[in-house]
Structure 1
Amino acid sequence: MGTDIAHDAPRKSRPAASFARRLLAWWDVHGRKNLPWQRERTPYRVWIAEIMLQQTRVSTVEPYFERFVAGFPDIHALAGADLDEVLHLWSGLGYYARARNLHRAAGTIVREHGGVFPDTVEAVQALPGIGRSTAAAIVAQGCGRRAAILDANVKRVLARRHSVPGPVTAAATLAALWRLAEAHTPAERVADYTQAVMDLGATVCVRRRPRCAACPVSADCQARTAGDPERYPERAPRRARRVERSRFFVVVDPHGACLVAQRPPRGIWGGQW
């Protein structure tokens, strides 16, 4: 693992530094520190965890993570595996494009990076299936380099603390939240801060009925001061739901054997039988 690099960070304002200091003090006492990917914090393990955690609860991910890294303990093992093996260990976790992208990215790392996981946000973000915030989380937690994250939990924390108007899907709102994320990210203990701000959003500053009395940074939270923390982040207008109809056929021969075919690699249930 790398070390925190102070010169990567811009100069921080006093309120921003206070936010990080209070958050880290809270995390030292209340934060989650024994998740499977925290026990041996490497870029590879953090990467697998971050992809699995997309749209999936921590409690659901934990056993899948343990089985996956036991089956594919490093990048070379994952890159050299057959895709069906990867999908088998992913079976039941859903969103199978994540598993296919992991497999593709592992191959890219072996071919283009000599099997060494890259340690910059730009290089990690260039891998299949990785966006800006996920890349930053991997670099911060796996490499110890300063990188600001902005997942759903962090968006909620920052939108409430600064009463940022607009839905997080709006470009102007997202840009404002990224600026705040950059400003609040400290130069030291970056991995801990990254986990701390995610933990705060996941366990205290939750979407409904936030536990403001337990929040270490509630004293200067603008949404709480206004008396309506659930107002933020503002909701985007609901889109009309698309309705699709499909027909499924089960073809069985006289001996009871069932005919199966593999779906194309892209699209819904891609690569599944």
Structure 2
Amino acid sequence: MEAADKRRFRTAVLKWYDQHGRKLPWRESADPYRIWLSEVMLQQTTVAAVVPYFERFTARFPDVQSLAEADVDEVLRLWEGLGYYSRARNLHRASQAVVSEHAGQFPSEVEALQTLPGIGRYTAGAISSFAFDQPAAIVEANTERLYARLLALREDVRASASQKLLWQFAEELVPEKRAGDFNQALMDIGSKLCRPVDPDCESCPLQKFCGVFQQGLQKEVPVRKPAVAVTPISELAVVLMDRERFLLRRRTESERWAGMWDFARFEISSEESATLPLVQKRGRSKSLFSPEGLELPEFAVQKTQSQIGLKPGPVVASMEFSYSVTRYKVQLICFACSAHRARGKLSDGVQWFSLEELPELPLSMTGRRIADWLKVR
């Protein structure tokens, strides 16, 4: 793009933003803490879903110091439901690094920001431009799509060569002044007008700069590889119960939902699933019921003991539900078992909790669903 076209492009972007920019709670100030928090929350999550979490999170942790001093369990509990929990753990680690290494002040330069846990190129550019008005480029889902259409890019946008081209294009466009407004304007144009499906080209201020509009390629760009096929799998969860106490384990760093509390849970094969006790629904209840005194098959007993240290006793009740995570469709069956005859020694990271304590624990969405079932079973 020629220099004169770049000037006209920037003017058009900022004029549109002044009239149509979204009013969002994290845009009410240039506080780098609030901007950083919002950008991390918005990764893989919609704006509508993030707003209530952002407001609760900032009410409890109004600044980086309060977040750094918090217990990680409380951070995870407040994050519960947003998913991708490594984001919450990295938020906690990064806040501690800002306090210990930067005297509680966020650095303004992209390179320094990228040394903090969980902050990559895009997030660093967002903080640098939004909070400090540095001329830092950004490429995220909305701007990636917008840039690809402006360039009429016919290659897979996720390919390394395409990413290099898009970042170079973004860096050439970002202005020296009002860089933050410029970047947020492009995100808003991408979200509100340059939509993945049915883009509103007639309302777009960048129409005359847009390659796909001029060539009529809106439905063909951006190009992406076909989505990975969904894989069905089965899981078994085993809840050991001792009156109103329940046995949970803290998931390890190598597991999904690392650092969260969970019940004994493991993937099972279709052959193993076929050997589980027969259960049936009672009326319209979502719970499933097994004959009293029914025992789990040996594979389930052994896998449960390997996780929590105890062998489960007889089955008391059961339930099942399905959920999706990344590229998997999971059918989960849960057996609540008596701990009266449980044998063994508790593994490290395994602990008894009362029914009243469960709401305070950081659990995955599926773990919370099991905990809620235990309250009403």
2:9/2:209 contact within 8 Å kept: no
Aligned residue runs from structure 1 range 21-36, under 5 A: 21-32=11-22, 34-36=23-25
* 3-state SS in 2 of match to 1:123: helix
Equivalent-residue separation in structure 2 for 1:266 and 1:170 (angstroms): 28
Distance in 1, Cα, partners of 2:93 & 2:2:
38
1:162 has 2:146 as partner? no
The one-letter amino acid paired with 2:257 is W
Partner SS, residue 251 of structure 1: strand
Note if 1:130 corresponds to 2:134.
no
Q: Residue 216 of structure 1 aligns with which residue?
A: 205
Q: Specify which structure has the bigger relative contact order, considering alpha-carbon pairs within 8 angstroms and separated by 6 or more residues.
A: 1
* Unpaired segments ≥5 residues, structure 1: 1-10
Q: Which amino acid aligns with 1:30?
A: H
**Matching of residues 94-243 of structure 1 within 5 Å:** 94-243=83-232
Report the counterpart of residue 271 of structure 1 in structure 2: 259
Supply the distance in 2 between the matched residues of 1:267 and 1:12 (Cα, whole angstroms): 50
Range moving further from structure 2, 223-232 or 202-211:
223-232
Q: 1:267 to 1:122 in 2, by over 3 A?
A: farther
- Corresponding letter in the other structure for 1:263: R
Offset, 1:223: 0.3
Whole-angstrom distance in 2 between the partners of 1:174 and 1:18:
25
* Aligned residue-pair number: 261
Question: 1:14 is matched with which residue?
Answer: 4
Q: Given residue 147 of structure 1, which amino acid in structure 2 is its aligned partner?
A: A
Letter in 1 for 2:165: A
Distance (Å, rounded) in 2 between the aligned partners of 1:27 and 1:40: 16
CA contact (8 A) 1:23 1:216 kept: yes
Contact 1:12–1:184, Cα closer than 8 Å, also in 2? no
Structure 2 distance, partners of 1:87, 1:122, is 28
Instruction: Name the structure 2 match of 1:86.
Output: 75
CA distance in 1, matches of 2:38, 2:124: 12
Over residues 134-172 of structure 1, what are the superposed CA-to-partner deviations in whole Å (9 max), with x where a residue is unaligned? Answer: 110111001111100001111111110111231121111
Aligned partner of 1:257 in structure 2 is: 245
SS state at 2:256 partner: coil
- What is the SS of the residue equivalent to 1:28? helix
Change (3 A) 1:66 1:266: farther
Counterpart Cα distance in 1 of 2:227 and 2:51: 32
Say which is worse superposed, 263-272 or 126-135, in terms of deviation.
263-272
Q: Is the 8 A contact 2:150 2:210 kept in 1?
A: yes
> CA shift at 1:241, angstroms?
4.5
Q: Deviations over 1:36-77 (max 9, x none)?
A: 111122111100000001111111111111111111111111
Give the distance between the partners of 1:49 and 1:131, measured in 2 at CA. 14
Tell me the TM-score normalized by structure 2: 0.67
Q: Indicate if the aligned counterparts of 2:158 and 2:224 stay in contact, CA closer than 8 A.
A: no
| CA drift at 1:90 | 1.0
Aligned residue number for residue 42 of structure 1? 31
CA distance in 2, matches of 1:98, 1:208: 29
Query: How far has the Cα of 1:237 moved from its partner?
Result: 4.0
**Greater C-alpha radius of gyration:** 2
* CA deviation after TM superposition for structure 1 residue 231, in Å: 1.1
Distance 1:202 1:94, change over 3 A: same
**Contact 1:12-1:183 at 8 Å conserved across structures:** no
Structure 1's consecutive aligned runs of 4 or more residues displaced over 6 angstroms after TM superposition are none
The structure that is strand-richer by fraction is 2
2:249 alignment partner, SS class: coil
Cα deviation for residue 245 of structure 1 reads: 3.6
